[in-house]
Amino acid sequence: MRKAGLVLWQAHQKAKELVFPGRMTREIDAVVEEFIASKNAKPLFKGVPGRVPYPASACISINEEIVHGIPSTRKLRNGDIVSIDIGVKLGEWCADAAVTWPVGHVPEEKMRLLHKTEDILRYAINALSKKTKWSHIARKMQHKAESANFSVVKNLVGHGIGRSLWEHPQIPNYYDRDLEDFRFPQGAVFAIEPMITLGCAENRLLSDHWTIVTTDGSPSAHFEHTVAITAHGPQVLTCGPNGEGWAM
């Protein structure tokens, strides 16, 4: 899975190079798809079943789009924030990671949203070695967001990952005592992905059957890593070769 994670990290670096005003999102996706293929890996998202199969290798979501934005001829604009979510399968193993980038000069409130969401992911990763149950971490993640006057998206969550992209358990970014709780056994691997909005957390599905947007049009940020539980603590599998990356 670390090998898959390194390919994914490199794919994200290729995407990052194209994050500037005037770039079409489908151009970013094309570069990501070509790079993944060059590494004899597969894009996990392309062809995912739905009312229509997901048509791209990367989910590229701009501003009020929370997740699953479909790459198109839409161009990035100065002041946008763009979330890029990529999944890779190398051999039998999967990796999943997302990051939200500023485009050009971004308003202070949007930057504060990005920094807070990244900080929430950083906290969750580090807390895996200190807490005993996910509910303890999720409660703090929610508090961090809400104390900054942001909202946690509750109908979209992280997940276990391994030979398949989506495995048990579901990993919420908020606390609810009615949700299933779980511990972190050695060998478990989690895709942890806080999705935080500047306004309300309510959202809706667009007519393309994939893109999910905030109902009030407020910006949303999304940061994600694939994290393994090892004998030496949590290990991020989707960081760079020297341990660099967002939320690290």
Spatial separation of the C-alpha atoms in residues 159 and 211, rounded to whole Å:
19
Dihedral sign for Cα atoms in the order 44, 49, 51, 53? positive
Spatial separation of the C-alpha atoms in residues 189 and 28, rounded to whole Å:
28
pLDDT in tens, 17-36: 999 999 999 999 999 999 99
- Measured CA to CA in angstroms, residue 85 lies from 68, 113, 123, 174, 223 at distances of 8, 17, 20, 21, 9
Task: Indicate whether this model's pTM tops 0.85.
Answer: yes
Q: Which fold has domain 2-236?
A: Creatine Amidinohydrolase (3.90.230)
Domain boundaries, the chain: 2-236
pLDDT in tens, 36-81: 999 999 999 999 999 999 999 999 999 999 999 999 999 999 999 9
Would you call 227 helix, strand, or coil by DSSP?
strand
Total residues found in the chain within this entry: 248
Q: Which residues have a Cβ under 8 Å from the Cβ of 32 and sit 6 or more positions away?
A: 11, 14, 15, 43, 57, 58, 86
